[in-house]
């Protein structure tokens, strides 16, 4: 299978951005099999300095582009799903911030109704905090280009340098970082009503 597309962009939630790519992690993602669908790995952090929880938001882990109502399998233009998520956090005690780097991979597959080999899928990374209205979200475009004769392709995206504040009574455990595909209401409804089989 060809090498995955790799994107690196910061998540603009912070007072400052720190570039610290998860190069070894990205390499592991690129080599990981598709059977890792939905799994996650977290690096860094200690009981004293815990990392935020990171995961895929339920019902947004896959997307199906369809022609018309998509009532038949022959109406499928493209399917894509997210796979493994990895994250790493570091604490800067001098300015009371937590820097989180994360990366996730995915796989896309052309359907019978496809009339193009180039697509742009939207993904999101959102930060939520317990016990408050804090809720930030950034959307990223993922280009999906299939080479001639290719029906499937993998991609990897990393978001480096998300800086989150913490205080005396609030550490990384108050945060949750969620990723997923940015779905339209129709696409979300499709995910809810149609059974989904993982791409192999």
Over residues 70-103, the pLDDT tens digits come to 778 899 999 999 999 999 999 998 999 999 999 9
Tell whether 198 is covered by a domain. no
Confirm whether 200 is domain-assigned.
Answer: no
Task: Please report whether residue 199 resides in a domain.
Answer: no
Kindly report the pTM of this predicted structure. Answer: 0.77
What are the pLDDT digits (tens) for 8-47? 343 433 322 233 344 444 444 333 333 223 455 555 667 7
More confidently predicted of 61 and 14: 61
Q: What is the pLDDT of residues 99-144, one digit of tens each?
A: 999 999 999 999 999 999 999 999 999 999 876 655 689 999 999 9
Tell whether 169 is covered by a domain.
yes
pLDDT value of residue 40: 58
Could you identify the residue written with the tokens 């913490």?
A: 166
Q: Which domain holds residue 111?
A: 5-193
Domain count, the chain: 1
Give domain status of residue 136, yes or no: yes
């Amino acid at each position: 299978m060809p090498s995955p597309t790799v994107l690196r962009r910061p998540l603009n939630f912070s007072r400052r951005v720190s570039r610290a790519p998860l190069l070894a992690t990205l390499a592991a993602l690129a080599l990981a099999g598709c059977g890792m669908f939905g799994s996650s790995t977290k690096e860094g952090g200690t009981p004293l300095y815990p990392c935020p929880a990171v995961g895929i938001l339920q019902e947004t882990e896959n997307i199906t582009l369809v022609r018309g109502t998509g009532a038949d399998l022959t109406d499928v233009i493209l399917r894509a799903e997210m796979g493994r998520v990895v994250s790493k956090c570091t604490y800067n005690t001098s300015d009371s911030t937590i820097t989180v780097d994360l990366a996730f991979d995915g796989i896309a597959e052309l359907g019978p109704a496809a009339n193009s080999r180039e697509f742009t899928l939207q993904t999101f990374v959102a930060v939520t905090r317990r016990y408050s209205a804090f809720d930030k979200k950034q959307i990223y475009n993922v280009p999906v280009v299939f080479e001639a004769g290719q029906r499937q392709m993998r991609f990897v995206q990393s978001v480096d340098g998300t800086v989150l504040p913490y205080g005396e009574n609030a550490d990384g455990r108050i945060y949750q970082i969620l990723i997923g595909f940015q779905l339209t209401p129709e696409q979300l409804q499709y995910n809810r009503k149609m059974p989904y089989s993982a791409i192999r």
